[in-house]
Every structure is written in C-alpha cells, then in structure tokens.
Amino acid sequence: MQNKISRRQFLQVTGASAAALLLAGLPVEASAASGHLTVTPDTLVSDLRADPTFAASGVWTWQSAVDSPDTPEAGTTLSDYVGANMAQDSADALNYLADTYEAGTQVTYKVYSPEEIAADATRDGVELYYWPSEVPGSKFVVVMSGNVLNKTSNMSEGYATAWRLHQMGYAAFVLRYRVFLKAKDNAPVADLGNAVRFITTHADQFHVQPENYALLGYSSGGHLAGVFSGDELGYKHYGVPKPGALLLGYPINNFFEYKPVYHAAIDPFVLEGRYYELNISDCVTDDYPPVYHWYGENDYVFPLLCYPAQRPALSRALEQHHVPCKEVLFPNATHGVGTGAGTDADGWMLDAANFWETQING
C-alpha cells in the first residue's frame, strides 16, 4: 500500500501541474489568495456566495441548473439549503475546495472546449468540481447527483459524497451535467462521456489511474451511470475504458410513465429514442461493469414509478447476465439521503468501495 503524503506536500505537487491543465484550455484559474469564509452548517448561503474565494473558484453553489438560479430567502443557512443530514459533509467539502484553490490548484473545469461551447451554449454549464486525493496514483470516482426537472442535488448529494470519497483516499469529481430542457439529444450522456474522457486524458495531471474508475450516481444520476455503462449509448462511443464499478444509490431503472412526458418536453419532433427512454436493466449485458446498488425500504419515489419496473427488474437483469453485484436494502433511508448520514444507510460508501476494490483486484 502506498504511503500517504501530507496535505501540504500534495498541494505543492499538484500546484505545479496547474499550468499544464490550463494549457489544455481550462478556465477558472487558481489563486494565491487566502482567508476564505469558513463554512459551517450555520453559514448563510448568501455569505457563501459573496465570499471572493468561492466566487473566483467557479464552484457552483446552487441546487438549480437554470440560467436564473434559485435565490434562497434571507437567513437561509447551508443546513436549510442542503438538508441537516448532509450539511456538515457539504461544509467540509466546500472548505476543502476553497483551501485547495487558495493553495494554487484549480478545482473547477469546463468539460467542453471554447469552440464546442460556441457551437452549443448549453455546454457552458457542464463542469467538473475536483477533490484531489492526497495519495498520487489513486483511483477516481465521478459523482452524479439526482435531479427533478431543473432542481439538482449537487450541493447536497454531490459535494457531501465527494468529501467522503476524498477522506477514503480517492480522487472525486462531481459532474454538473445538463438536465431537463437542456438535456435534449442525449446531452447528459455526452456530458458524462466527455467528462470521463477529459479526466482520463489528463490522468497524469490529476494524479489518478485512468482505468478502473467508478461511477457513483443517485436516483436519475444512477440511471445516467447505468445507461452510460451499456452498449447503445455508452462508454464505447467515447473511447474511454469501461467503468471498474457502478456504485448506485436508489437508482431509477425505468422512468415508466414519465418517458413520453420527457420526450414531448425535451425532444419534441424527434422520432428517435433517447437516453431517458432506456431502462438500465435493458442495457445490462454479460460484460456489464460490476454493480453495487442500495435502496431504502421507506423510499417514497419508487411506488410512483411502478415498483416492479425498478429494483426488481434491475436485480433480475444483473442476475441473468451473471454480472457481479451486491444489492442492499435499508429499513430507514428514504430517497435523496445521499451519503446516508443520520439514516440506516450511513456507511454504505465504505461497503461499496470495498465491493469495488474486490472486483478490480480479483
């Protein structure tokens, strides 16, 4: 096992690589400034957004993905905004990003080039937020939060999860992908494919292994990870390695009755099928990546989406194709709890990481 280096040593090493990353056309330069706001669960969201370091870092501090982001009412704390169970992890995640940025390491990356953004302005909001590992040569995880229409959970599910992965020794990237009306023409799948290609292409600068990475997705983010791991729209179309494992929290297998609604709203006048019309279970093949997936028995979402078409259908497909998998049910862990803090699911990420490591190490 590799010896850990100190956080200061790591930041000195990664700071030297920032110039190389910027040469790749990556905006949001790192700063040598210091003294950012120390974020706690009681920090006002308005104060967080007014802080010069967080503003300069480019880190997205909204739970919405629209051009006019939501503006919380005066007095809204981080705990109010992301939920009490994920507030401390989210605060720690934000503080680490600010520290890393102030030490000279870029933490926000555009997935698409300026030319690609000029051709399609919706690509401008597709970004990766980076929590480096303190162990160079570590594996990396791409985290995708869930979303409901234009509302996303990057600040809660995403950042809290990335912080815990960082503490476990992994490099973590939270992907801000296009949602709802910006998700036409399979845009979220393209966002994920280009994000993975971006990371693996710059693996040396990020100090990560380009293979055996994991995709961690919640709810609709889990659906995206599942579709990306199949043949029809997945990783093979982007020239990137197959994921080493999928780590999925309450993934949507089948959007069921919402499929025609999404198609009419997102891709009107288009006859071809789209990613949201695919079921994860239909994407499973004999060479599908290993899957860890968990659910709460008191989840309120799946009864609204025809429960037999969800977890049971996915489990059956994985079993039929002999895909290595582990399914976990928690009595008290409803939809949207992310890391599981404060619920029966707390600790699921350690179990999932152990599953991932076992699969890739044989």
Question: Three-class SS of residue 322?
Answer: coil
Q: What is the pLDDT of residue 66?
A: 76
Q: What share of the chain is helix, strand, coil (3-state, %, to 5)?
A: 45, 15, 40
Tens digit of each residue's pLDDT (9 = 90 or more) over 259-281: 999 999 999 999 898 999 999 99
Tens digit of each residue's pLDDT (9 = 90 or more) over 42-88: 999 999 999 999 999 999 999 887 777 888 889 999 999 999 999 99
Q: How many residues does the chain have?
A: 362
> What's the pTM value of the predicted model, to 2 decimals?
0.90
Residues 6+ apart with CB under 8 A from 147: 65, 153, 179, 180, 219, 220, 221
Residue in this structure with the two tokens 């006859």, named with its chain if needed = 271
% of the chain at pLDDT higher than 90: 82
Asked if residues 340 and 346 have their Cβ atoms less than 8 Å apart, the reply is yes
Cα distance between residue 309 and residue 74, in whole Å: 42
106-361: CATH superfamily:
Alpha/Beta hydrolase fold, catalytic domain (3.40.50.1820)
Tell me phi and psi for residue 52, to 5 degrees.
-60, -40
Cα distance between residue 340 and residue 354, in whole Å: 17
Listed by start position, the domains of the chain span 106-361
Cα distance between residue 146 and residue 224, in whole Å: 9
Q: How far is CA 304 from the centre of its chain?
A: 24
Q: What is the pLDDT of residue 67?
A: 73
